[in-house]
Chain A
Amino acid sequence: MKTASEPLKQNEDNILEVSHLKKYFPIKGGVFSNVVGQVKAVDDVSFSIKRGTTMGLVGESGCGKSTAGRTLLRLIDKTDGNVLFNGTDIYALSKKEMRTLRPKMQIIFQDPYSSLSPRLPIGEIIGEAVREHKLVPKDELDDYITKIMASCGLQTYHKDRYPHEFSGGQRQRICIARALALNPEFIVCDEPVSALDVSIQAQIINLLKDLQEEYGLTYLFISHDLSVVEHISDTVGVMYLGNIVEIGATEDIFANPLHPYTKALFSAIPMPDPDAKPNRIILEGSIPSPANPPAGCKFHTRCKDCMEICKTQEPIAKDMGNGHVVKCHLYN
């Protein structure tokens, strides 16, 4: 593991490099609120994202994918590891320096109903951060907001309206406009479409893709909907209990899933075709508690290919070619 004194290098093509990122939440208990345990939400996660591409992050709820998204934006502090954004270690920056970097990395939250302030008009929601960071001269701000709103499919007269006057799909457009207004390079999309209807989902996904082409954005797309992830991503990481168990190009992962968990996850997707006879691998039980994860490979309690070694030894990541990395004893 690299130490802070060692200079960190980053590949020019990559906008973001995450290495050995860890985030533990303390469990407090007892009379004096002592720390009695730790929830290992993100436990040693490493990946990198190429400029202008989309990385999908999938997994069951509680596997730490949202926490990973927030930790790499420094919205919550890390426990260990490094995050390099455009060559700078974001955890080495002071608060003030971090503030100047913030506009470059934005986030879109899952629930468009609770992530917009109900007391601000739309124009203010979108323009607040722009004004704060002085990205645009004061007299041009109004035109700038109109321009951003138009590119997200919102009308000019929406500017003076309040969030409650909008439907779910439009609110998600507002959230996207708010992130886009700061002219970011990198956006974390934390389940941006799971609260929306199917037809609205399609609109938002198309919008995200259009904006990516227009502004050259890089996305980290967090979702549990595998079909959406396959549609939008260039690379996919599969998370289980704080670990990335498999990562690689979307085509490789979907055509040839290697990890038993990925296989089970993909076989569980219902296909909209009545003739498709699913050859389903049903996982028994549910995800173990991240406060007390199983020893060895964390998936061994539910794995159908479990071996003796899995129960004691944690598997190491192995590259199976073409950047397709899998963490499983079956391939070692």
Chain B
Amino acid sequence: MNFLKKERTKDANYISAKESRAISKENKKITDEIEKKRKRKHIPEEEYVTKMKNPDNVVEFDNVHTYFFTDIGTVKSVDGVSFEVPQGKTVGIVGESGCGKSVTSLSLMQLVQRPQGQTVEGEIRFNMGDHAVNVVNAPMDMMQKLRGNQMSMIFQEPMTSLNPVFRIGMQVDEVIALHNPQMSKEEVKKRTIEMLQMVGIANSEGVYKMYPHELSGGMRQRICIAMGLACSPKLIIADEPTTALDVTIQAQILDLLRGLKNKINSSIMLITHDLGVIAEMADYVVVMYAGRVVEKGTVQEIFKSPKHPYTVGLMASKPVVGKDIDRLYSIPGKVPNPVNMPDYCYFRDRCEMCVEACKGKYPEQTVLSPTHVVNCYRYSESSGSNGNDKKEMKEVQ
């Protein structure tokens, strides 16, 4: 093993075939064990039934770790993420691609690519009224009852998330019929058409009989939303719902989502990298970087007084209409290699506001207000930040 280590210091990305084989063998051992546990016929209820910490929350993520066991090493896509989604509120999750925001939502739906992708630690508690379900350990049949019924997902690409060979009506019918087996075919169809009308499709009877290719991107996204909302879920996960759409259509879709949220009183988990969309839609914001939450707070706290250097940099790098700046701020460097994460603050190598304490291990949470939490040494009490640093930060803004 010693000579292998030497090789690695030469080139961090180099992995010999022998080493890769050893890793995949090790991975198989780990994933087989987890899969075996998951595939048991009768999983006792006490393993997944828990209690919510706060009954007003719909979902509580508690120290969730989702890893991908790949042949070049373990990728810690989600590494200790904790936040909660309160009833009737919208929580926005921001971050660059590859920061783990989508994997977080997939973990909640138990849709992570298995067996290589596994939620290995932590709890995701989903509120079921009198009790809570820990999604991480929940058996498959339990999940099937939850998905689409209690929580549903709207994907980024409306072009690829509809099945091209089935009519729109049939695809929406399927969701309703599956979760409401007592309904007759006519009732299901009536409900589907109601849903299509609700998402603002004028010719709903006609669209019912159409195929996805006959519709535009905005219309398809409406169909996806109709499918997602068909069973009035408690939680809607919108994974970049407007990224593939034009601004004018984006405005329509956001308007629609907001209206529907109030109508059926559900919560939204909104994943996007567009800060404008977040500011408009969200009540709470979670900023993720390299698999971890670096800052979270209410939308006012995050936008009015961003604290983490990454959040500040992210805000400064986006041009804003009506704001005249000569040069955009760009965060130097790039995201660290996900296979070998450093043991210090992940943002340190790109950070322009490093303090002495940053040389230590990954920073702990610092609570700034009951809702505003940041993981940065600049704000922890021991090292503290002086007035000088704050001034510097304002300049960057």
Given contacts A199-B314, A224-B247, A274 and B300 within 8 Å (CB-CB): yes
**Minimum CB distance partner of A277 in chain B:** B280
Contacts of B97 in A (CB 8 A): 197
Instruction: Let me know if B320 and A227 touch, CB within 8 A.
Output: yes
Q: Is the pair B279, A205 in contact by a Cβ cutoff of 8 Å?
A: no
- Inter-subunit contact A282/B251 (CB<8 Å): yes
B157 contacts chain A at the CB level, 8 A cutoff: no
Report the interface size for chain A: residues with CB under 8 A from the other chain. 39
Q: Are A202 and B317 in contact (CB under 8 A)?
A: yes
- B218: chain A residues at CB < 8 Å are 286
With CB as the reference atom, state the residue of chain B lying closest to A276.
Answer: B279
Contact between B330 and A286, CB atoms less than 8 A apart: no
Q: Is the C-beta of A226 less than 8 angstroms from some C-beta in chain B?
A: yes
Q: Are B252 and A202 in contact (CB under 8 A)?
A: no
Is A283 part of the contact surface with B, judged by Cβ < 8 Å?
Answer: yes
A272-B320 CB under 8 A given contacts A197-B96, A206-B327: yes
**A203–B330 Cα gap in the complex (Å)?**
6
**Contact assessment for B321 and A61 in the assembled complex, using a CB-CB cutoff below 8 Å:** no
Which single member of A230, A254, A283 contacts B252 (CB below 8 Å)? A283
Contacts of B328 in A (CB 8 A): 202, 205-206, 231
- B252-293 CB mask vs A (1 if < 8 Å, else 0) is 101100000000000000000111111110000000000000
Contact with B along A209-240 (1 / 0, CB 8 A): 10000000000000010111011000000000
Answer yes or no: A270 CB below 8 A from chain B CBs.
Answer: yes
A-side contacts of B165, CB under 8 Å:
none
Q: A269 CA to B248 CA in the complex, in Å?
A: 8
Measured between beta carbons, the chain A residues less than 8 angstroms from B318 are 198, 201-202, 227, 272
**A264 contacts B by Cβ under 8 Å:** yes
A254 to B97, CA, bound (A): 30
Contact bitstring B179-220, A, C-beta under 8 A = 1, else 0: 000000000000000000000000000000000000011110
Interface assignment of B250: CB less than 8 Å from any CB of chain A: yes
Task: Give A232 Cβ to nearest chain B Cβ, in Å.
Answer: 8
Query: Is B277 a contact of A270 with CB atoms below 8 Å?
Result: yes
Bound CA span A61–B247, Å: 10
Q: How far is the CA of A121 from the CA of B97 in the complex (A)?
A: 26
Bound Cα distance A274, B315 (Å): 13
- Contacts A226-B247, A271-B320 given: A282-B276 contact, CB under 8 Å? no
Tally chain B residues at the interface, Cβ within 8 Å. 43
Closest to A255 in B: B322
User: A202-B318, A272-B303, A286-B216 are contacts. A231–B325 as well, Cβ < 8 Å?
Assistant: yes
Cβ-based interface call for A265 (8 A)? yes
- Is A47 in contact with chain B by the CB < 8 A criterion? no
A230 touches B321 (CB 8 A): yes
Q: Is the CB of B327 within 8 A of A209?
A: yes
Residue on B nearest A286 in the bound complex, by CB: B216
Which residues of the partner chain B approach A271 to less than 8 Å between Cβ atoms?
276, 279-280, 320-321
Asked if A278 CB lies within 8 Å of chain B CBs, one says yes
Quick check: A274 and B279 within 8 Å, CB to CB? yes
Q: Does B246 contact A (CB under 8 A)?
A: yes
Complex Cα spacing A57 to B96, Å:
26
Bound Cα distance from A274 to B304, whole angstroms: 9
- Flag whether A60 is at the interface (Cβ < 8 A): yes
Complex Cα gap A228–B96 (Å) = 18
Instruction: Give the shortest distance, in Å, between A263 (CB) and chain B (any CB).
Output: 11
B106 close to A (CB within 8 Å): no
A199 and B313 contacting across the interface, CB-CB below 8 Å:
yes
A273 within 8 A of B: yes
Cα-based distance from A116 to B317 in the complex (angstroms): 27
Say whether A266 faces chain B, with CB atoms less than 8 Å apart: yes
| Cross-chain contact A254 with B248 (CB below 8 angstroms) | no
Write the nearest CB–CB distance from A278 to chain B, whole angstroms. Answer: 7
Residues of A near B313 (CB, < 8 A) are: 199
Contact (Cβ within 8 A) B319 A227: yes
Would A199 and B330 be within 8 Å (CB), given that A227-B318, A270-B250 are in contact? yes
Of A60, A266, A276, the contact of B246 (CB 8 Å cutoff): A60
Let me know if B254 and A270 touch, CB within 8 A: yes
Could you tell me if B321 and A199 are in contact, using CB atoms closer than 8 angstroms?
no
Report yes or no: A272 in contact with B252, Cβ–Cβ below 8 A. no
- The reply to whether A269 and B276 contact each other, CB–CB distance below 8 Å, is yes
Is B351 engaged at the interface, CB distance under 8 Å to the other chain? no
Bound together, the chains give a CA A269 to CA B318 distance in angstroms of 13
Q: CB within 8 Å of A: which of B215-263?
A: 216-219, 246-252, 254-255
Hey, which chain A residues are within 8 Å of B339, CB to CB?
A: none
Q: Is A115 on the interface with B (CB-CB < 8 A)?
A: no
Q: Is B362 an interface residue (CB 8 A)?
A: no
Pick the residue among A230, A268, A278 that contacts B248 (CB under 8 A): A268
0 or 1 for each of A184-200: is its CB under 8 Å from B? (1 = yes):
00000000000001111
Residues of B within 8 A of A274 (CB): 279-280, 299-300, 303-304
Complexed CA–CA distance, A273 and B279 (Å) = 6
Asked if B329 is at the interface of the complex by the 8 Å CB criterion, the answer is yes
A157 shortest CB reach to chain B, Å: 12
Mark B333-348 against chain A: 1 for CB-CB distance below 8 A, else 0: 0100000000000000
Which residues of the partner chain A approach B277 to less than 8 Å between Cβ atoms? 270
| CB neighbors of B among A258-298 (8 A) | 264-274, 276, 278, 280, 282-283, 286-287
In the bound complex, residues from chain B placing their C-beta under 8 Å from that of A201 are 317-318
In the complex, chain A residues whose CB is within 8 Å of the CB of B273: 197-198
8 CB contacts below 8 A, A to B, read A198-B275, A199-B317, A230-B319, A265-B248, A269-B247, A272-B276, A274-B279, A274-B299
Closest A-B pairs by Cβ, 10 of them: A270-B276, A202-B317, A231-B319, A202-B330, A268-B251, A202-B328, A272-B275, A60-B246, A203-B330, A268-B247
Which residues of A approach B to under 8 Å, CB–CB? 60-61, 167, 169, 197-203, 205-206, 209, 224, 226-228, 230-231, 254, 264-274, 276, 278, 280, 282-283, 286-287
Known: A202-B331, A231-B328. 9 other contacts (CB 8 A): A61-B217, A198-B318, A199-B313, A202-B328, A202-B329, A205-B319, A264-B248, A269-B276, A274-B304
